[in-house]
Amino acid sequence: MSRSQRFIVSPGGQLQGRLRVPGDKSISHRSIILGSIAEGRTQISGFLEGEDTLATLAAFQAMGVQIERPGSAQVTLQGVGLHGLQKPEKPLDLGNSGTSIRLLSGLLSAQAFDVTLLGDESLSKRPMKRVTDPLSLMGANIEATEKGTPPLKMTGGQALQGIDYSMPMASAQVKSCVLLAGLYASGSTCVTEPAPTRDHSERMLQGFGYPVQRDTQGQSTKICLSGGGRLQGMNIDVPADLSSATFFMVGAAIASGSDVTLEHVGVNPTRAGILRLLWDMGANILLSNTRTVGGEPVADIKIKASPLHGIKIPQAQVPLAIDEFPALFIAAACAEGETILTGAEELRVKESDRIQVMADGLQAIGIEVKVMPDGIVIQGGQIRGGQVNSHGDHRIAMAFAMAGLCAQEPIEILDCANVATSFPNFVELAQNAGLQLSVST
Query: Span 244-265, mean pLDDT?
Result: 98
Give residue 16's pLDDT: 98
The dihedral of CA 42, 43, 46, 51: what is its sign? positive
> Any alpha helices (H) in 263-353, and if so which ranges?
273-280, 325-334
Q: The domain 6-23+239-440 is classified under which CATH number: 1.20.120.160, 3.40.50.1820, 3.40.50.10190, 3.65.10.10? A: 3.65.10.10
* pTM (2 d.p.): 0.85
C-alpha 143, offset from chain centre: 25
Give residue 219's pLDDT: 84
Work out the percent of the chain whose per-residue pLDDT is above 90: 90
DSSP, collapsed to helix, strand or coil, labels residue 20 as coil
Task: Please confirm, yes or no, whether 133 is among the known catalytic residues.
Answer: no
C-alpha 194, offset from chain centre: 20
What is the strand order of the sheet 39-45 is part of? Answer: 66-68, 74-80, 39-45, 235-237
| CA–CA distance, 138 with 129 (Å, rounded to integer) | 14
Local confidence band at 349 (pLDDT 50, 70, 90 cut-offs): confident
Whether 155 and 124 have beta carbons less than 8 Å apart is answered as no
Pairing of strands 16-19, 6-9: unpaired
- pLDDT tens figures, 378-414: 999 999 999 999 999 999 999 999 999 999 999 999 9
263: burial class by Cβ within 10 Å (0-12, 13-18, 19+)? Answer: middle
Question: Where do the structural domains in the chain lie, given as residue ranges?
Answer: 6-23+239-440, 25-237
Local confidence band at 66 (pLDDT 50, 70, 90 cut-offs): very high
Q: Is the peptide bond before 151 cis (omega within 30 degrees of 0)?
A: yes
Q: Is it true that 6-23+239-440 and 25-237 share their CATH fold?
A: yes
| CA–CA distance, 266 with 287 (Å, rounded to integer) | 11
Query: Span 310-319, mean pLDDT?
Result: 93
| CA–CA distance, 313 with 86 (Å, rounded to integer) | 46
| CA–CA distance, 44 with 64 (Å, rounded to integer) | 19
**66 backbone dihedrals φ, ψ, rounded to 5°:** -80, 115
Local confidence band at 1 (pLDDT 50, 70, 90 cut-offs): very low
Give residue 312's pLDDT: 98
| CA–CA distance, 206 with 234 (Å, rounded to integer) | 11
Of 172-181, 245-254, 357-366, 418-427, give the lowest mean pLDDT range.
418-427
What fold characterizes domain 25-237?
UDP-n-acetylglucosamine1-carboxyvinyl-transferase; Chain (3.65.10)
Catalytic hit among 52, 323, 393, 415: 323
